[in-house]
Every structure is written in structure tokens, then in C-alpha cells.
Amino acid sequence: MIILEGKNGKSKVLEDLINNRLQNRNVVILDCVGVRGLKVPKGVDHFIYNYSAESAIDIYNTGWFDAYDWVIFEINMDAEKFKFELRRFMDLDKNSTQNFLVTVQTDGDIKMKFA
């Protein structure tokens, strides 16, 4: 699982990652932030929901997104709340063959971590 954290510019980094780094276009973005105008290639599905991180995980657990190789949760929860929710995302990652990326709101510069 990849964790993308930072204060500003995460969407641009995410866009670059999808467009230039992922060799696979079988990607879905579950966007709970409402990033409009994200420029991604054909084959990448971008769903905007007005839900919490918990609800985003529940939506994922419906099975609607099983066919995707990459699932990106654009949730931007703060770092303290994410420490609490990280276990739920780690369980998804552990119990799935899919790849996950989660965005997290922090006060610092943009960093990419692997969990």
C-alpha cells in the first residue's frame, strides 16, 4: 500500500503517478475529497463521493471494484485520524491482491510512504 501525504499538491502528484508511473490503466479512484478536473487516461475510473473514509471502505467492500488492479482512496483525512484508520486500510491490503493508495492530509511537504 502506498500512502501519499502532504498539505498541498497531492492531486498533481497523484495525477503524475497515474499518468506516468503506473504501467497499468486498470485503476479506480474513490474520491471523497471532490477533486474535479483530475486528468487521467482512458481506462481510469474516477468516482466522486461525499463520504468519510469509513464509508469509502464500506463502498469498496461491496465488491463493485474487484476487477481493478489499483484502488486509490482520495480521502485526505488528517494524520491523527489516519493513524486510527490505518489498520482498516492495512487489512484491505493484506486480504486483497489489489494495490492500494491512500492520500492523507498533513502539514508537511508531500511524501510517499509504503506500508
Residues 4-54: tens digit of each pLDDT = 988 888 888 888 888 888 877 789 999 888 877 778 877 889 888 887 778
Q: For residue 101, what pLDDT is reported? A: 92
Q: How far is residue 13's CA from residue 63's CA, in Å, rounded to a whole number?
A: 28
What's the CATH code of the domain at 63? 3.40.50.300
Cα gap 27→18, rounded to integer Å = 8
How far is Cα 92 from Cα 87, in angstroms, rounded to an integer?
9
Q: Is the pLDDT of residue 91 over 80?
A: yes
Q: pLDDT over 90 for what percent of the chain?
A: 22
- Report how many domains make up the chain: 1
Q: What's the whole-model pTM score?
A: 0.87
Q: pLDDT averaged over the chain?
A: 85
Q: Which residues of 40-68 are buried (b: 16+ CB within 10 A; e: fewer)?
A: beeebebeeeeeebeebbebbeeeebeeb
Range of the domain at 47: 2-114
